[in-house]
Amino acid sequence: MADNYFGANNPFMDFLELEPTAAYYSSPGGRQFASGNQGQQRYFQNQFQNVYNEFLGSLGSQIRSGQEPTMRWSDYLENVPFTARYAALSPEQAGRTTRRYSPSTRQIYF
């Protein structure tokens, strides 16, 4: 991947704050995680609203405690532990079942 042409003064970074889904699907951890197996991709795609709600909750906590809200959505995404969250899921939730390798059998009674 090429280095950022604009460096730290990228004028397009504000777009990521205005369009949360663009920031989510392009986040460094998310890109790496979404390139995994189908179960990981499905999990990553379905978690956008949960992660965004967590961010809004953290931002609200900063405001309620009297702090100036300095947290940015794109910065928050860099610290989301997608891999740890996925690893904590049960095999059924993560789509890691062995059902396709062991087909169901039938009992035949005579």
Q: Model confidence over 31-76: pLDDT tens digits?
A: 666 666 777 888 888 889 999 999 999 999 989 999 888 888 888 8
Give yes or no for residue 22 having a pLDDT over 90.
no
Report the C-alpha gap between 21 and 90 in whole angstroms: 27
Cβ within 8 Å of residue 80, ≥6 positions away: 27, 29, 30, 51
66 backbone φψ class: left, alpha, beta (φ>0; ψ -120 to 50): left
Name the residue with higher pLDDT: 38 or 77: 77
Give yes or no for residue 80 having a pLDDT over 80.
yes
Give yes or no for residue 1 having a pLDDT over 50.
no
Within 10 angstroms of residue 19's Cβ, the number of other Cβ atoms is 11
